[in-house]
A and B are shown apart, each in its own frame.
Chain A
């Protein structure tokens, strides 16, 4: 199985900050990585697919980059509604696997 390692596991930030979450794959996955946002008690929501494709309706302050084994999700200007847990997921091969999550908290 491909292991996905996210960092940091938690992050404290303020409204207006720029934050970056990283994800490293245990082997090359080209650009087959997706990013999700999950709020308490809710299902995850797809934000970005194939490393950098912003999903319809997702604010442009979210962006993704990377290829091979190293990837990042950046939120350019944090808004109050962005405080949540974020997950990466590889869709390069089955079994599909997720990172352990990054909890973004208000400082």
Chain B
């Protein structure tokens, strides 16, 4: 069973950059698309963006100007950077795998809570 694991700071200061990495032990990261999703009490589940094995990305327009996602197939991980964070970016962040052929999210990491506060 494929497992995903998010890692990164749990506390980020306002105006700084939130950086998270998702590791896929055993891979193969190169066979699937990968997304980040966040969940906050105020906004429910929000899709952030996706990256494919070649590094092509699609971002949620609501976050597009602040967002960078990348993939490193040699290390079996992909990453998220969200700049200029505010308290509205406080949420649980999940990395997820796209199911082959459907763009349903079939594998989820356990999630990591990120709080934006000074």
Instruction: Report A's interface with B, CB cutoff 8 A.
Output: 1, 32, 34, 36, 42-46, 49-50, 53, 55, 87, 89, 91, 94-98, 100-101
Contacts and interface: CB of A to CB of B under 8 A. Distances in A.
Nearest to B111: A43
A85 to B, nearest CB: 10
A3 to B, nearest CB: 12
B106 A43 contact: no
- Judged by DSSP, the binding face of A is loop
B45 A50 contact: no
Contact of B44 (A45, A50, A55, A100): A100
Contacts, number: 57
Contacts of B110: 42-43
B47 A97 contact: yes
Contact of A89 (B50, B104, B109): B104
B45 A43 contact: no
Given A43-B94, A43-B110, A87-B45, A95 B104 contact: no
A43 B104 contact: no
Given A43-B109, A44-B108, A94-B58, 4 more contacts: A45-B108, A49-B104, A53-B102, A96-B47
Interface string B44-76: 111100100000001011100000000000000
Nearest to B99: A49
B16 interface: no
Contact of A50 (B35, B62, B104, B111): B104
A1 to B, nearest CB: 8
Contacts of B46: 98
B62 A89 contact: no
Contact of B102 (A36, A50, A101): A50
Contacts of B60: 94-95
State the 6 A-B residue pairs at the shortest beta-carbon distance, nearest first: A91-B103, A43-B108, A49-B104, A34-B104, A98-B45, A96-B47
